[in-house]
Structure 1
Amino acid sequence: MTVTARRVLIAGAGPVGLAAAVEFRRRGFAPRIVDAGEGPTPEDQSRALGVLPRTLDILAASGISERLLAEGNRISRMAVADNGRPLFELSTAAGHTRHPFILVLPQGRTERLMIEWLAAHDVDVEWGVAFQTVADTHAPRVTLSTGETIPADIVVGADGAHSAVREDVGIPWSGAGYPAEFALADVVFDKPVDPAVGQIDLRSGSGDPGGAVAMLPLGARRGRYVGIAPSTEALIGDVPGIESVTWASRFHVSFRHAERMAKGRVFLAGDAAHVHSPVGGRGMNLGIWDAATLAFLASETRETEYEMRRLPSVRSVMEATRRGTDFIAAPPPAALLAMRYLMPLAAWTPWLRGRIADRILGLDLPQPEWL
């Protein structure tokens, strides 16, 4: 069976499903992508916005990285403070990549750039069409909300944390919610800020419940604040220089994962397979790496290797993200002392600078086989 003859159905047209469609299409498949929603993420809601270097490497072959780089903001330094008192600055310049920065672009723009690419390559997202059920995971026949039943050689569930694909094929969903509440706010500043510098403020005073607030510039006059806080006011109420808030949200997070990422010829990617807190900015990227790995393996008729190749990275990210979330929720006194006195030294130690930069940029995970 040739690559082009193999039928791929993708459920979910968020960043992960769209990336799956792009990667399958550029490798010679003719994927079909459906989504129960009416369109992509609204452009005024930034949502997932950090694009890591490996994601840029993956999407370079399609030409989408060039478009992302043309529109996104590049963050190459992180300034760390303790209750507003500057501690040290971390640079990503020593990262072992040709893109030693975090690219920041609202999720809605990332999605639209992929949708435009797909349309130019004869793949249109079918909005308002939901996955309903799949019969026989080893020879899938998918029924859609339109009443249509279609055969597929590969089914990709990229339909989020409440994945209908995962539930339909009976893959258990393990884990639990996290007790802390997060808040985020997209803001406009009254004066320009340095767009290359992100900020992390540890809120560790004795009268404070702990936590940390991060600010990621979207440009010289716009930025995203996110952190553990019960409200937008608690998150940014004391932050000077904010002219307006363009979007705000409060949310709880969970640390959950599918006990399997594949069942027969049905595969899970992104939030359908794993969810965790936004600490570290790995979520969307990890899902895109899932999608690209599956497309690569399928192009070599090796998709049965997908689960064993992705699970170690997924577990590693989830464990590291949980540790990071626990730290910012309730920083241990000894760790705070290390942040105040040892990290400034580490930031100036050459061999540590590269390791720190690689960790920030997500380069501490295995390199994709095909890059």
Structure 2
Amino acid sequence: MEKWICSCGEENEGNFCIKCGKRREEAAGGTVSENTMQMPVVSQQHMQPVAPPPINNYQYQPSYEVPVQQGGFFNRIGKGPLIGIVAVLVIAIFGMVGYFSGIESRYMNKVKDADNLTAEIHTLLSEVNSLDGDPDSDATKKYISKYEDLSKRFDDLTVDIKDAKVPKKYTDYNVSLVDAMEMEGQILKSVHDVLVNTPDNGKYPATVSNDFQTSVTNLVNKSSDLSMDEVQLDRNMNLSKLVQDVNAYLVRYHNVAEQKRIEAERKARMEALQRLDTFRRGLKESFDDKRRDARSTRSGIYLANNVTCYDEKLTIEGDFYNGSNRSGSYINGLSMHVVLYNQGEVVRDISSHFGYVYLGTLYPYGSVYHKFNIYDSSITENLIFDSFDVTVNF
């Protein structure tokens, strides 16, 4: 190899000075050593590949080798792009972690909402026993309004939880949770039906339906499956007592309803009696006309001036009027038809036949008082009427 002397005085064989590191071409004043062979220096960039002669018309295509830089892939791309790639990867990782943790966080928030709302509902249910049984009272109306608001929120939350993205570790829990919420929804509906459309099943006291009691029992059993540290779902609520409370409300409701019915009937009866009294006083004028008609036709008539009901008996009081100049003491064969009205509506239509009726002495052109009794099991003292029409044929 040709030796050369650098400007720093050092004798070298390669292309760089071993002392100062200068390239041979850059070493100012560099000389060639006398002890070395004179060889031309040819740089790599001036080297051209030598093509071999063509074989079978195939033209040789020279290939070039790309020099490999030292340091590997990360050295070749540089520090700037490397930092960017690492940042993107970190952001992606944190994004995935945030996404999945966000699903769990959102789901747990819904479960906690269910926990809080369930506790609020159970508190309200426990107050059923404090209601006075009067659906028309302000307290009951306020209670039902609040109850319907909570029920609506609970139904919406149940749908929300059913449609929610559920973390895998809570899959089984969510199935039990949805089942329990649907059972609770059925209980809410049943209690609402009791409060708004109170059943009248002929029993005293009335009782809630079997479906209601079954839903309560199932929810009590299902609540044992809902174990999670973060929520309790009000498992300490004594739902079994709810059946007793609702039954107690029904007893109070029917007591109030019975008192209202009695009071309404008493009021209606008093009002009807006032109208009946007015009706009876108005009979005098019509009776005068009927007496004149009987005398002109020389016939007898019966004019009823009062009708009362008591103990399965209808009592008709009135007078027989003799329009002829003949005396009488009895009637053999008499039929009676009685119609009772209340505010224009027929409340009873009763007919009866009497084979022999003793009158006493009915003087010519005179009258005699007589009372008839018609027995019928449908007649009670609570029968309300304000007018009557009595027709007698004999």
TM-score for the superposition, normalised by structure 1: 0.20
**Relative to total residues, which structure has the larger strand share, 1 or 2?**
1
Q: Which structure is richer in relative contact order (CA contacts within 8 A, separation 6 or more)?
A: 1
TM-score, normalised relative to structure 2:
0.19
Larger Rg: 2
